[in-house]
Amino acid sequence: MTCKEIVELMTDYLDGFLSPSRRAKFEQHISGCDGCRAYLTQLKTARMLIGRTAAEPVPEPLKAELMNAFRYWKAAS
């Protein structure tokens, strides 16, 4: 999976919507990719901060902001 695919799957991952095989691939990528791991941590924190339950999707503006942060990390690494 590419980083872009991973990012797109992150909310589903956090919500437990991934199939076992996709989840395994996702976790494999995360364990070897600092950028995606940082993004996942950020996403978890952001969701906690905005007080959303796991069932609710991340609002689009926040998602866009996180994508920008993610691009920055990738550029910096």
Q: Where along the sequence are the contacts to Zn ion (CB under 5 A)?
A: 3, 33, 36
**Smallest separation (angstroms) from Zn ion to the CB of 34:** 8
**Residue among 18 and 33 whose Cβ is closer to Zn ion:** 33
Amino acid at 21: S
**Smallest separation (angstroms) from Zn ion to the CB of 41:** 13
Contacts of 22 (CB under 8 A, 6+ apart): 9
**Smallest separation (angstroms) from Zn ion to the CB of 53:** 26
